[in-house]
Amino acid sequence: MNVFVAGGAGFIGSHLIDHLLAEGHTVLCADKLVMGGQNIEHLRDNSAFSFCETELAEQDAVDRIFAENKIDAVYHLAANSDIQKGGREPSIDFNDTLLTTRAILEGMRKADVKKLFFASTSAVYGEMPDTALTETTGGIMPVSYYGGAKLASEALISSYVSMCDMSAVIFRFPNVIGPRLTHGAVFDFIRKLRKNPAELEILGNGKQCKPYIYVLDLVDAIVKMTREFAAGENVYNISVMSDGTTVTHIAEIVVEELGLQNVAFRYTGGDRGWKGDVPRFEYDISKILATGWRPQYTSDEAVRQTVKDAVKAGM
C-alpha cells in the first residue's frame, strides 16, 4: 500500500514507519518536526520513503498532500504529546491534537481515502480508578485538554466513518516507552539523574500506578491490524499483560540500571504528578488479545529495556 503517516517523525510514528517499510509499504510522512527530524534521519536514502514538512492543522496543506499523492491508508499520530505543556496552553492541544484530526478527516473525505488508523489514549477515560476499562465503558470524562482533544477526535472519526463509509482502527495507547523516547517519567528520571546522581525529584507521591508498553510491542499490534484490516470502526485498548508499575518502582529500576547507589528520592507530594494527570487506571485488554496479538514485555521489563536503550543511545 501507499501509506501516509501523520506525525511520523515522532517517537512512535518513526518506529511505525520502520516497520511499515519492512512490510513492503511505501511511506509518505508529514510532520512539523516539533521534536526535530532525528528519528527519520536514517530513512533519508530509502526510495520507499518520502517526507514533507507540514503544519497538519492547516486544511490547504493537508488537502495538497492528498491531491498530490496516491494514498491507500492513513496513520494519524500527529498530536501534542507534552500534556503538561498543553495544560499551560490549551491552544496547543486544540491545534495539534484536534485540528490535525479535522484536517486529516476532511482531506480523506475529499480524496476518497477510506482507511484510517488513529493513535488515541487512555486519557480519554479520565479518572475511573475502580473500573477495569473496556472499549465500551461509558460515562467517560477526560480530565486534561489533551484527553478532551483525543476524545473529540474519536467522536469526529466516528461520524466520518458513518457519513463517508470510511473504516477506522482506533488504538487507545497507555504510556508508551522505548528507544527514541523524548518525554515521560523514564526519560525525566534518566535526565535528572545524569545531572544529579545523588537526589531524584519525583512528581506526586510516587504511588501513581499505570501500565507501560514497549514501543515495539505497540507497533507490532498496529502492523498486525494493518495486515488483518477489518471494515467499520474498531476501538482497541492496548496494553501489557501484567499490572502497571508505580512511579517509585520506575525510579528504582532507573537507578539500578544506571548503576547508582544511595539516591535520595524527594517527592513533590500529592496523589498525582500534575493537574490533568490520571494517577492510576486499569485496562481490560481482552478485545485485542482475542485477535491473537500478545505483547512481549511487562511494564517493568519495558521500563528496564527503555533505560538500557537510552544508555546505549548515549543518554
Binding site for ligand NAD (CB under 6 A): 7, 9-13, 31-35, 54-57, 77-79, 81, 95-96, 100, 119, 121, 173, 175-176, 182
**Residue 114 beta carbon to ligand NAD: minimum distance, rounded to whole angstroms:** 21
**Residue 136 beta carbon to ligand NAD: minimum distance, rounded to whole angstroms:** 20
Specify the residue, 33 or 140, whose C-beta has the smaller distance to ligand NAD.
33
Specify the residue, 28 or 78, whose C-beta has the smaller distance to ligand NAD.
78
Specify the residue, 86 or 204, whose C-beta has the smaller distance to ligand NAD.
86
Which residue bears the cell 501534542? Answer: 80
Distances (CA, A) of 196 to 81, 83, 247: 26, 25, 18
Among the listed residues 123, 129, 156, 69, the one whose alpha carbon sits nearest the alpha carbon of residue 276: 123
Among the listed residues 162, 152, 314, the one whose alpha carbon sits nearest the alpha carbon of residue 233: 162
Which residue bears the cell 514538512? Answer: 53
Distances (CA, A) of 5 to 20, 41, 93, 193: 10, 15, 19, 34
Specify the residue, 84 or 182, whose C-beta has the smaller distance to ligand NAD.
182
Specify the residue, 102 or 287, whose C-beta has the smaller distance to ligand NAD.
102
Specify the residue, 263 or 299, whose C-beta has the smaller distance to ligand NAD.
299
Indicate the residue whose CB is closest to ligand NAD.
10
Taking the C-alpha atoms of 178, 182, 186 and 191 in order, what is their torsion angle to the nearest 10 degrees?
130
Specify the residue, 188 or 263, whose C-beta has the smaller distance to ligand NAD.
188
**Residue 264 beta carbon to ligand NAD: minimum distance, rounded to whole angstroms:** 28
**Residue 197 beta carbon to ligand NAD: minimum distance, rounded to whole angstroms:** 26
Specify the residue, 83 or 255, whose C-beta has the smaller distance to ligand NAD.
83
**Residue 196 beta carbon to ligand NAD: minimum distance, rounded to whole angstroms:** 25
**Residue 312 beta carbon to ligand NAD: minimum distance, rounded to whole angstroms:** 19
**Residue 59 beta carbon to ligand NAD: minimum distance, rounded to whole angstroms:** 12
**Residue 299 beta carbon to ligand NAD: minimum distance, rounded to whole angstroms:** 12
